[in-house]
Amino acid sequence: MNIVKPATPPLSSELIARFRKIVGDKYAVTDAADIAPYVTEERDLFHGHSPLVLRPGSTAEVSAICRLASEHKIALVPQGGNTGLVGGQTPHHGEVVISMRRMDKIRDVDTASNTMTCAAGVILQIAQQRAAEVDRLFPLSLGAEGSCTIGGNLSTNAGGTTALAYGVAREMALGLEVVLADGRILNTLSKLKKDNTGYDLRNLFIGAEGTLGIITAATLKLFPKPRAIETAFVGLKSPAQALKLLSIAQNEAAGTLTSFELLSDIAVDFSVRHGIDVRDPLAAKHPWYVLMELSSPRDDARATLEAILAQGLEGDIVGDAAIAANLSQRSAFWKLRDEMSAAQKPEGGSIKHDISVPVVAVPDFIEQANAAVVKLIPGARPVPFGHLGDGNIHYNVSQPVGGDTADFMSRWHEVNAVVFAIVLRMGGSISAEHGIGVLKRDELPEVKDKVAIELMRSIKAMLDPLGIMNPGKVL
């Protein structure tokens, strides 16, 4: 996808040398081949370019980079694991990339306060493992957790599969350390659950995608580690039936229902067909599936899960179900779910949406969107799946079998318009957990409250008056 904007003037060799001095020769990347991984992304949707990638090792170095960039009006693009899906981490116009991956230290783990303070470059999976080592849980979980970073998670306000029980990234952060555009360091790191001392500046930067400042560290909430985790893969007839099962599960499991994923048959079929060692756990095919998980501090999760499924079977809601008998089977269930995005690649072009609607509206949304998309592009294959428990559906559309990929992808915005119209009519959001970046930037003013857009622009102008922080993203 091409982003049209005037290119950034090239950096002088003298200025590159000054940036290089801040981080050291080893951590200033100028070779085109070495820069390549920083200017492309996994979906191959966005392609950028940059004369320089800086890999700072401390907050002080980030601060010095920003001071020098501000002095010379050099645009910067902060980047974590480069796993974003909306082009927010890509240097589209020749900006300098600031890779945060070297800042990967866990500064503090406090089991009394149930907090962990991490530098921005800590890999999410490492944070999860460190919490587990002290008998705690850091619950943020998503498909890219082996490579995405804490700073990126917070900058995009990542959601994931446990948002139903624990909320999104914003709700897991108690405080932040942020470097502003002019190099000042804002320190709101805190272990306090109660701190009523004026504006909550932390929330300005969470979800801002690096357009207001660069998150360099965060104090995160930890939770009790579950003693029992039970997982079921369920076949049923429709999203409406899945919604009924969700109601039963919430009533029976209360706060121990941690994941409730809705999967269409075509999404499951793609995963089984193109995934490695992936199979359908059920003997027969079903139109829809649910992957549900309970996590309990007691040893009662299995009985609760069985009671939920029993009610579903008695009410003719559940067609069939399999409960994971061990960790290997649980991993297999989740692998089927986690492969769904990658499994769409072999099927050709895929136009993707990360939307949310009120939970009760999900069945109607899917029905209306399917009809509208197929009417717009006969033969198009909707591939909906996602987090039914919080109303977030990844409504992806694969190209017709045998169709022309370039022609199909050229209709991205047409398909967006059809899908977004239904989302907005239902009181939903065009971006549930992936952010705005450049992919949805132009649509944002049309769907966001006008006063909210004005305030966002005012805040951006105040914190980044030179417009050097991730320019062209979000706004």
Burial of 410 (0-12, 13-18, 19+ CB in 10 A): exposed
Q: Residue 180: what pLDDT?
A: 98
Residue 185 β-bridge partners: 179
Record the pTM.
Answer: 0.92
Q: Residue 4: what pLDDT?
A: 40
Q: Tokens representing 71?
A: 């002095």
Q: If you search the block for the tokens 């490579």, which residue do you land on?
A: 147
Q: What does each of the 475 residues of the chain score in pLDDT, given as a tens digit? A: 444 444 455 799 999 999 999 999 999 999 999 999 999 988 788 899 999 999 999 999 999 999 999 999 999 999 999 999 899 999 999 999 999 999 999 999 999 999 999 999 999 999 999 999 999 999 999 989 999 999 999 999 999 999 999 999 999 999 999 999 999 999 999 999 999 999 999 999 999 999 999 999 999 999 999 999 999 999 999 999 999 999 999 999 988 999 999 999 999 999 999 988 999 999 999 999 999 999 998 888 999 999 999 999 999 999 999 999 999 999 999 999 999 989 999 999 999 999 999 999 999 999 999 999 999 999 999 999 999 999 999 999 999 999 999 999 999 999 999 999 999 999 999 999 999 999 999 999 999 999 999 999 999 999 999 999 999 999 9
Question: How far is the CA of 244 from the CAs of 36, 163, 218, 254, 315, in angstroms?
Answer: 48, 19, 38, 15, 10
Measured distance CA(238)–CA(316) in Å, rounded: 12
Q: Which domains does the chain have, with CATH numbers?
A: 13-102 (3.30.43.10), 106-224 (3.30.465.10), 228-426 (3.30.70.2190)
Cβ atoms within 10 Å, residue 170: 15
Measured distance CA(109)–CA(89) in Å, rounded: 29
Q: Are 66 and 214 in contact (CB under 8 A)?
A: yes
Q: Residue 7: what pLDDT?
A: 43
Q: Residue 8: what pLDDT?
A: 58
- Written as one string, the DSSP assignment of 119-159 is ETT-BHHHHHHHHHHTTEE-----TTTTT-BHHHHHHTT--
Q: H helices then E strands: how many in the chain? A: 16, 19
Task: Report the amino acid identity of residue 142.
Answer: L
